[in-house]
Structure 1
Amino acid sequence: MSDSQTVSAAVAKLYDIYPFPPEPLLDEPPPGYNWRWNWLAAYNFCTGRKPQNQNIRILDAGCGSGVGTEYLVHLNPQAQVVAIDISKGTLEVAKERCQRSGADRVEFHHLSLYDVEQIPGEFDFINSVGVLHHLPDPIRGIQALAKKLAPGGLMHIFVYGELGRWEIQLMQRAIALLQGNRKGDYPDGVQIGRKLFASLPENNRIVKREKERWAMENHRDECFADMYVHPQETDYNIDTLFELIDASGLEFIGFSNPGFWQLERLLDKAPELIERAKELTQRERYRLIELLDPEVTHYEFFLGRPPITKIDWSADNTVLDAIPELNPCIDGFPSQTLFNYDYQIVNLSPAEFEFMQNCDSKSTVSDILTKVELGLNEVRKLLKLQMILLTPNYS
């Protein structure tokens, strides 16, 4: 068995013992939404417009216990979903989860990401959350996925960041040292880790970070094992992240939390430094931000296979002729106070609220503005806030 196969077998063993994520199985669709798994919302975020096609193929690459798979099926009612995972035990949990919640448009395969070429055809949307960083060769993994992405398709990726996981790395190494030749006995590793946290002083940096950030989820052994006794983990920084992205051959579209990557939120009091930072490349600015705010525990972002056409809504006629509809990932409408796609509270003005009430997927912006006193810049604001989707009218 090669080193890569040995590591993959160890990863599969961990998840056979501790299926992850350990979310409860429900006899109904999952609550809420994750907009990154909704094709309409994700496509709009990446391109500025509603996608032309909703009858798509989705790949959940490394589906684990099926939490994301379940959402992908329920949030994309016209899509066909394929899910793969290396752990047979975890895959059984995923199958039961989807069966119980009525997520019946999904096909499961016990398969490594490396072997994804065995699945015929291409995919319009590939979701891979928390997987690439657990592969012995992440570059080989992302390249395998990239080959399955259709032209114009999107890939949603989540990988770990080294700066925000520094204390986790220390505890991982401490547990491994104490395990010695029992490394690979995951319940033993969990027991050692629990004893360490119980025994260390309360003001210990690792203990404080655990209590502040992770303790609520880590009371479950599945989460604790995934975090502290995993046999394979690669943590990234901006430089190594873009090495991974560049190796995929795909286009980097952007991080799914763009607000974090604005230098102004950190250096608003030093405009001269913001001005100086304009001399840096975009990637250097990203690196500067994470160095100044080293809370990055993970990177979540979108890649695409060209042609990815981003629409420009700066021309008034283009906006006026477009057909608006509500973003499917908002919660609380109809109300002037609601949650946006990122579960942030948004307070609509009376005119904005009235505009959104008139978004019937048939009327153009021009039609609605004959009934509602709202300016085009306010319409663009709703679009920028991801409150509405626009479909261009080229007829």
Structure 2
Amino acid sequence: MSDIQAAVAKLYNTYPFPPDPLSDAPPPGYNWRWTWVAAHSFCTGRSPAREDIQILDAGCGTGNGTDYLVHLNPQAQVTAIDLSAGALAVARERCRRSGADRVTFRQMPLEEAALKLPGEFDLINCVGVLHHLPDPIAGIQSIAQKLAPGGLMHIFVYAALGRWEIQLMQEAIALLQGNKRGDYTDGVAVGRDIFATLPEQNPLVQREKERWSGENRRDECFADMYVHPQEVDYTIQSLFELIDASGLEFVGFSNPQFWQLERLLGPSSDLMARGQALVERDRYRLIELLDPKSVTHYEFFLARPPFTPTDWADDAELLAAVPRLHPCLHGWPSLSLFNDDYELIQLSDAEFAALEACDGEQSVGQLVASLPLDLATVRQLWRQRLLVLG
């Protein structure tokens, strides 16, 4: 184990993260990014051919995501790995108490997954991990080797522009700790004392209050944010260097609305034309330059070919598809419900009737023949991620 890996393990043994409470029930709600059917439909446009899949939670921490992955994918087998013995102990207990019994835990560095883990995985979840490795490229290459053909990888890493104040506070705490750096309880105490002492109008204090203070009430979160021994923050350029090194195909960001140029430059037809002429990566860079404080992280999907997205533009193909309800809906059945991003959706009577008829057996063609339903409505329900098509 390298010095950096040992320091990271020590942090999470001291402050197991995330500190979500344990429960004797399944975790509440859903995260569609951790739901195989939802993630597959988002990335490819289609329902997956099978749901009895293998999932890897690469860097599981205390198992919050692992718990969701097991409960949201009832036919899947889950493997969860992490560097920290302390975090893994919490993860095991979390899943034991919630009844998440289709999971195997292994203690190992992410970089050793390619050598030590048997088999391949259809879905790999790697949230909040790569940016803490001594060599993130080695880490992503290791887990990329475990992704099955046609498989998906979900990744979350930090962004530099929206975390400027965190970088400054990390350095300030380290300077004041001096030779006590690496004593994480001391680092938390120093950091909290700084925030309590600085003038209220100080920009670091203001940013902490408006953006981070809610989650930083817990020392585990404060330590993860401000006294972490290893952190790599990305920009679009360095992010795509990481992605290119993986050898996988970039599918897209999981918050695509944010990455639409129209959101920022829509009122100017000239600027929009100039922006649309840029290659995709330069358009993403332009967006983060124009809205830097909002980019605190990047969350995205990669895929291993064969990867063939479907847009359902062909009427014959759509008529033959079998629709079913999206697995991440809250409030159904109702004319008012929440979609997979917990956004409130108001359905028309016709849309409600269409969703109610989606039994996973009838084709779109059969539904169109029996309901006051047209293909435009089906496509709209699919784009709103209220149904999936297969």
TM-score by length of structure 2 reads 0.99
2:174 corresponding residue in structure 1: 176
Alignment match of 2:287 (pick from 286, 289, 294) = 289
Contact 2:265 2:272 in 1 (8 A): yes
1:206 corresponding residue in structure 2: 204
1:80 corresponding residue in structure 2: 77
1:96 corresponding residue in structure 2: 93
2:312 corresponding residue in structure 1: 313
Alignment match of 1:240 (pick from 238, 245, 252) = 238
Residue 312 of structure 1, CA deviation: 3.3
**1:16 maps onto 2:13 in alignment:** yes
1:125 corresponding residue in structure 2: 123
1:354 corresponding residue in structure 2: 353
TM-score by length of structure 1 reads 0.97
Amino acid at match of 2:305: P
Q: For residues 55 and 308 of structure 1, what CA distance do their matches in structure 2 show?
A: 19
Contact 2:324 2:388 in 1 (8 A): yes
1:256 corresponding residue in structure 2: 254
Alignment match of 1:165 (pick from 142, 163, 166) = 163
1:300 corresponding residue in structure 2: 299
Residue 249 of structure 1, CA deviation: 0.4
> What are the Cα deviations for residues 306-347 of structure 1, in whole angstroms up to 9, with x where unaligned?
001112311111111111000001111101111100111111
RMSD in angstroms over aligned alpha carbons?
A: 0.7
**1:134 maps onto 2:132 in alignment:** yes
**SS of 1:370 mapped into structure 2:** helix
Contact 2:132 2:230 in 1 (8 A): yes
1:2-81 equivalences under 5 Å are 5-81=2-78
Amino acid at match of 1:97: R
**SS of 2:201 mapped into structure 1:** coil
Residue 378 of structure 1, CA deviation: 1.3
Regions of 4+ moved over 4 Å: none
**1:113 maps onto 2:110 in alignment:** yes
Q: For residues 52 and 64 of structure 1, what CA distance do their matches in structure 2 show?
A: 30
2:213 corresponding residue in structure 1: 215
Q: For residues 320 and 327 of structure 1, what CA distance do their matches in structure 2 show?
A: 18
Q: For residues 88 and 388 of structure 1, what CA distance do their matches in structure 2 show?
A: 41
Alignment match of 2:150 (pick from 146, 149, 152) = 152
Q: For residues 98 and 42 of structure 1, what CA distance do their matches in structure 2 show?
A: 22
**SS of 2:155 mapped into structure 1:** strand
Residue 161 of structure 1, CA deviation: 0.3
> What are the Cα deviations for residues 137-179 of structure 1, in whole angstroms up to 9, with x where unaligned?
0000000011000110000000000011000111001000000
Residue 108 of structure 1, CA deviation: 0.3
For these two proteins, the number of residue pairs brought into alignment is: 388
Q: For residues 45 and 185 of structure 1, what CA distance do their matches in structure 2 show?
A: 43
Residue 371 of structure 1, CA deviation: 2.9
2:193 corresponding residue in structure 1: 195
Instruction: Give unpaired runs (5+ residues) of structure 2.
Output: none
Instruction: Give unpaired runs (5+ residues) of structure 1.
Output: none
Q: For residues 250 and 141 of structure 2, what CA distance do their matches in structure 1 show?
A: 14
Residue 374 of structure 1, CA deviation: 2.2
**SS of 1:300 mapped into structure 2:** strand
Q: For residues 31 and 125 of structure 1, what CA distance do their matches in structure 2 show?
A: 21
1:383 corresponding residue in structure 2: 382
> What are the Cα deviations for residues 213-234 of structure 1, in whole angstroms up to 9, with x where unaligned?
1101101000000000000000
Indicate the percent of aligned positions where both proteins have the same amino acid: 65
Q: For residues 70 and 78 of structure 1, what CA distance do their matches in structure 2 show?
A: 14
> What are the Cα deviations for residues 344-377 of structure 1, in whole angstroms up to 9, with x where unaligned?
1111111011100000001111211223212211
Residue 245 of structure 1, CA deviation: 0.1
**SS of 1:258 mapped into structure 2:** coil
Residue 279 of structure 1, CA deviation: 2.0
2:263 corresponding residue in structure 1: 265
Residue 278 of structure 1, CA deviation: 2.0
Amino acid at match of 2:271: L
